[in-house]
Chain A
Amino acid sequence: MGYSIKDYIRKRFFPHIWCPGCGHGIILNNMLRAIAELGISKNEIVMVSGIGCSSRISGYVDFHSLHTLHGRALAFATGVKLSRPNLYVIVPMGDGDALAIGGNHFIHACRRNIDLTAIVMNNRIYGMTGGQFSPLSGKEIKATTAPYSNVDPSFDTVNLAIAAGATFVARTTTYHFNEIKEYIKKAITHKGFSVVEILTQCPTHFGRRNNLGGPVDMLKFFRDNTALLGSKKIKQNPDLIPRGIFVEKQLPEYTEEYERIKKRVKQK
């Protein structure tokens, strides 16, 4: 296709700040491919992020962007969407940002079914602050705050999002670059709250501390330990992490419901 994703970035901030082989860059790359293929104008997109290595992504894109508070990206995004419902609002978050400090905003955004696109960049660690465990780390993982290994079980982002009411829920990994593009395209066009969880590598803190090798090895782990929903591979080995679209359904959307109530009140 005749586009260059370089038309969608702020080149003056490159090379970006992320470590060599950090998966966040692969997400940026393929999210931009998704947007380019959808052909949405840069002026119609607002990217809202919180704080974290992942959240730096909003600084690199040439859209309207808001770099807000840790865990509060969805709250700011809700405000943007309510005031300008015609804009596409995309909210990339780290696993800590989305599901630790921001967990409450996350479940309530799901429940409201507000038309935002949440992208959970899940590296199972607090990268920016030096490798503390997050609610996605899981048992037996080593972190600066769990040097002898973590005892907390982890959330399953997909199950959490579904239970809380999100109407589009998908998961993939940074190995599967075309799935990132396809799921983000669907999530952006979906009317309602969409969640795309992308398993991504933090070689610097998660990989190193857990002896997982470098970025190449971590990508191979995603390749070998995940499988598409309904595939033969996952039927033969149900322990693999499932990828794919888990939920895609239509329910009343928050800003439209809000407009409906406004109209009704004005008619009286």
Chain B
Amino acid sequence: MVGMEDVIPSQIHKGSFMKKIEHKIIREWCKGCGICVEFCPKKVLQLDDEEKVVVRYPEKCTGCRVCEYRCPDLAIEVLVEKEDEKQAA
């Protein structure tokens, strides 16, 4: 059983538009189907040796969230900092 507190903290990075982007991946929910890897428009994601998704090229990510919306296992969530939050910070 996995609670949200067990989410693997993925690196928070500046994506290609210099927005702060965070991928929240629940590793134990990922079944390695490869859907997010194949359909990511920027080829940011990969499967590792254990057939789990990893963020391989974070600097290319646009924060489009296509990977999140097509994941059949709800294993990947993309948090994108909004413009106004950036200004406030």
Contact = CB atoms under 8 A, between A and B. Distances in A.
B39 A219 contact: yes
A14 B74 contact: yes
Interface stretch (A24-32, A76-84, A188-196): A24-32
Contacts of A4: 77
A15 B72 contact: no
A23 B70 CA distance: 9
Dominant secondary structure at the B interface = loop
B31 A12 contact: no
A24 B35 CA distance: 13
Nearest to A24: B72
Contacts of B1: 11-12
Nearest to B71: A29
Interface in A3-60: 4-6, 9, 11-12, 14-16, 18-26, 28-30, 33
Interface in B1-38: 1-4, 26, 28-29, 31-35, 38
Given A4-B77, A28-B74, A15 B69 contact: no
B9 to A, nearest CB: 16
Interface of B: 1-4, 26, 28-29, 31-35, 38-39, 66, 69-75, 77
Interface of A: 4-6, 9, 11-12, 14-16, 18-26, 28-30, 33, 174, 177-178, 214-216, 219
